[in-house]
Amino acid sequence: MLPLVLAGCSTPPDPQAVAAVGSDHVHGIYVDPSSTKVLLATHDGLFDATGTARKKISENTIDLMGFTSSAEPGTYYASGHPGPDSSLPNPLGLVKSTDEGKTWQQVSRGGQSDFHALTVSGGSLVAFDGQLRTSTDGIAWSTSPATFSPAGLAGNPASTVVLATTEAGIQRSIDAGQTWELVPKGPIIQFAAFADSEMKAPTEAVGVAPDGSVYVSNDSGLTWTERGKITGQVEAITALAGTTGKPWIWAATTDGVQVSTDGGATFQPAAS
């Protein structure tokens, strides 16, 4: 079984400006489509990896097992475990930050849920803590009848399409996680992400298989084309819309952050 891990830009960040930081215990990576800030959600909290050195954002240590952005700028959702300097419950359940990750407030399911997979889809949250759950407000949760266990969930605030990576293939929902269908002839991928865009709901999606092979979809995950391969063990991925069919892809790996500017055909260290 795949291990549970954990997800148009007019001016993508210069790959050489992104820190080549060690990525041990990285559970999520996010690139803001407007500011092009690169964030790493880690065992030790949230870090800004945009510059030449990784800078801690979180005021308190939180093991961010799940992490996702929202439609509101600077607002993130997460799950995981509190550090010794935090008064939040263990497990965190769903927590929310409205100040770009500096502080976190408990929202729901504190002491109950450790969401290893978490995403925003349209106006809803989709999460997995041993059960697949959905919520329209982050407080009241519904349990999905789906029986699969996702390694990861990929959604976007501007779309109700969600992708779930499983050992049997890609499960796809078009209604923010209410119902699911297995993508026919889809690849077995461990990580998935939609190519975020400021302008429109994304239709480009990126997937990475357990062996590092990269796949790209131009129709919201219905069909996939194999591209290149990432070296090192991948821990998390994210993407931004680039030229048509060639999204920019970032991968946090055990060898550091790598980036592709040609739709996954080739990768290079995010900084040298």
95 domain residue, yes or no:
yes
Q: How far apart are CA 134 and CA 116, in angstroms?
A: 14
pLDDT at 198: 74
Run means of pLDDT, 10 residues per run, the chain, 272 residues: 38 40 74 90 94 86 95 96 94 98 98 98 98 98 97 97 98 98 98 88 96 98 98 96 89 93 94 60
10 part of a folded domain? no
Closest to 41 in 3D by CA, of 54, 33, 52: 54
Which of these, 214, 218, 99, 238, lies nearest to 156 by C-alpha position?
238
Q: Is residue 9 part of a domain?
A: no
Residue 49 CB partners (closer than 8 Å, separation 6+): 18, 19, 21, 38, 39, 40, 257, 270
Cβ(95)–Cβ(143) under 8 Å? Answer: no
- pLDDT computed for residue 102 by the predictor: 97
Domain-located, residue 119: yes
User: What integer pLDDT is reported at residue 2 of this predicted model?
Assistant: 43
Characterise 34 by phi-psi region: left (phi > 0), alpha (psi -120 to 50), beta (else): alpha
Q: Compute the distance between CA of residue 235 and CA of residue 232 in angstroms, rounded to an integer.
A: 9
Measure CA of the first residue to CA of the last residue in the chain; give whole Å: 35
Q: Is residue 1 part of a domain?
A: no
Find the helix or strand (DSSP H, E) in which 229 lies: strand 225-229
183/82 Cα distance (integer angstroms): 36
Q: How far apart are CA 174 and CA 75, in angstroms?
A: 24
How confident is the model at residue 246, as a pLDDT? Answer: 93
Residue 147, number of CB atoms within 10 A of its CB: 8
In whole angstroms, give the CA distance from residue 13 to residue 187: 29
User: What does the DSSP assignment read for 37-86?
Assistant: -EEEEETTEEEE-SSSS-EE--SS-EEEEEEEE-SSTT-EEEEEEE-TT-
Number of domains in the chain: 1
Question: Does residue 3 form part of some domain?
Answer: no
What is the span of the domain harbouring residue 92? 15-269
Q: Is residue 6 part of a domain?
A: no
pLDDT at 24: 55
The CATH number given to whatever domain includes residue 128 is: 2.130.10.10
Structure tokens at 106: 């408990």
pLDDT of residue 65: 92
Give residue 172's pLDDT. Answer: 99
pLDDT at 29: 98
Residue 191: closest CA among 7, 64, 1, 40: 7
Is pTM beyond 0.85? Reply is yes
Q: Max alpha carbon distance in the chain (Å)?
A: 47
Residue 77 lies in a domain: yes
Residue 25 confidence (pLDDT): 84
Quick one: pLDDT at residue 53? 80
How confident is the model at residue 34, as a pLDDT?
A: 85
In this predicted structure, what is the pLDDT of residue 199?
67
* 20 vs 127: CA distance, rounded Å: 30
